[in-house]
Amino acid sequence: MKYYLLLYKRVEYKYKLGVIRFKKNKNYSSYFSVYDESIWDNLINNFVDCYLIYEITDIYKYGVVYDLFFEENKDNDNIRMDDINDVDYLDIEEDINNKYKKLWVQCENCYGLNYKKLFKSRMNICEHCDFHLKMNSSDRIDLLIDPGTWESMDEYMFSVNPIEFYSEEESYTDRLYFYQIRTGLIEAVQTGIGKLNSISVAMGVMDFQFMGGSMGSVVGEKITRLIEYAKNKSLPIIIICASGGARMQEGSLSLMQMAKISSVLYDYQLNNNLFYISILTSPTTGGVTASFGMLGDVIIVEPNAYIAFAGKRVIEQTLKKIVPEGLQTAENLFQKGLFDLIVPRNILKEVIYELFELQGLLPCSSI
């Protein structure tokens, strides 16, 4: 008769799982009892952790809870811990992690667990430390735009391979296809028109989950067309930035998007006196920071957002200097005057509405 035990160890708020195969064999000399007082306190302390994973995994028959409370055959109180040859740790750990992620979201800041069903209703804000976690573009549209008023623009525009970028690991086309399947998006930005508290607005939302929100020729073209449409219709613009910068697979074509977007924004803002709000989320870096991200009439940033041109690692490798922790966070940069407002996500819509009212923008019946 075989007995199995899951050992759970918490290391820096993360759990590592080991599955130990036990056999009843009189030749084995290394035994211990699960009822030994020396380990009972540890079992109690880990009981809740074990139970949560026990509830979400198909391999419950290997669990501590099962072995201690549900195993009918209690003949063998002694359990051996050195026979681990037949256990595939990686497969079991992956199985646990996949099911674990379906129920919980771990905070990047405090490592606390947030119940996934309530996480979206909290706007992806950690219930333990109020840290703002990443949010996909569709959820951001739902956050700001009135229900039923969103109309997408250029949603079927997609990238090809303009410079025939080649990689031994994965072709650019295959990489695009992978992220299209993974995110359900065609490109790293969604653009469209909608209403914010009944005020018509043109909005672009970048999605970091699609190739790190990198800006290629399609991203640049969609944002450019959005600005031109807003200019022709005299609409205010909101662009929510979340990007790692220019897309290296498109070379200089991606870099030219910085100049193209900045040019149409100049015409939109100065020649037409229209209103543009830039919202920077974590992370916003590279070419997006160096162009339209910092060109808003009002620049809003989320709390604790990472905003930079070059990342910490790149700076340290290039300049051979240590970058202090927190140097590129929203709060530190706000003190240097780079932004106008730091606004929590849960009041963002109301703040934008008040800014629109200050600009004399009124609700209208049609876009």
Q: Say if 118 falls within a structural domain.
A: no
Residue 176 shares a structural domain with residue 297: yes
Verify that 74 and 187 share a domain, yes or no: no
Q: What global pTM score does this model have?
A: 0.74
Residue 127 maps to a domain: no
What one-character DSSP code corresponds to residue 66?
H
Q: Is residue 73 part of a domain?
A: yes
Residue 194 in domain: yes
Is 109 a domain residue?
no
Q: Which residue has the tokens 């009124």?
A: 362
Q: Which residues contact 297 (CB under 8 A, 6 or more apart)?
A: 269, 275, 276, 277
Are 186 and 321 contained in the same domain?
yes
- Segments forming the whole domain that contains residue 146: 134-358
Check: CB of residue 119 under 8 Å from CB of residue 113: no
Q: 331 φ, ψ to 5°?
A: -65, -40
Say whether 241 counts as a known binding-site residue. no
Is 114 contained in some domain?
no
Question: Quick one: pLDDT at residue 53?
Answer: 53
Is the domain of 200 the same as that of 345?
Answer: yes
Could you give the number of structural domains in the chain? 2
Annotation-wise, does 107 bind a ligand? yes
Residue 365 belongs to some domain of the structure: no
Question: Cis before residue 324, ω within 30 degrees of 0?
Answer: no
Which CATH number do you get for residue 183? 3.90.226.10
Tell me what the pLDDT averaged over the chain comes to: 80
Residue 193, domain member (yes or no): yes
Which of 55, 88, 103 is the last residue before a domain boundary? 103
- 3-class secondary structure per residue, 272-328: CCCCEEEEEEEEECHHHHCCHHHCCCEEEECCCCEECCCCHHHHHHHHCCCCCCCCC
Regarding whether 268 and 176 lie in a shared domain, the answer is yes
Q: Is 50 annotated as a binding residue?
A: no
Indicate if 141 and 70 belong to the same structural domain.
no
129 is in an annotated binding site: yes
Do 286 and 352 lie in one domain? The reply is yes
Walking along the chain (367 residues) 10 residues at a time, the average pLDDT comes out as: 37 37 41 50 55 49 42 45 48 60 86 90 93 95 96 93 82 92 96 97 97 95 98 97 94 94 96 96 95 97 95 90 91 95 96 95 67
Q: Say yes or no: 67 and 139 in one domain.
A: no
| Whether residues 257 and 343 fall in one domain | yes
> Residue 92 has what pLDDT?
55
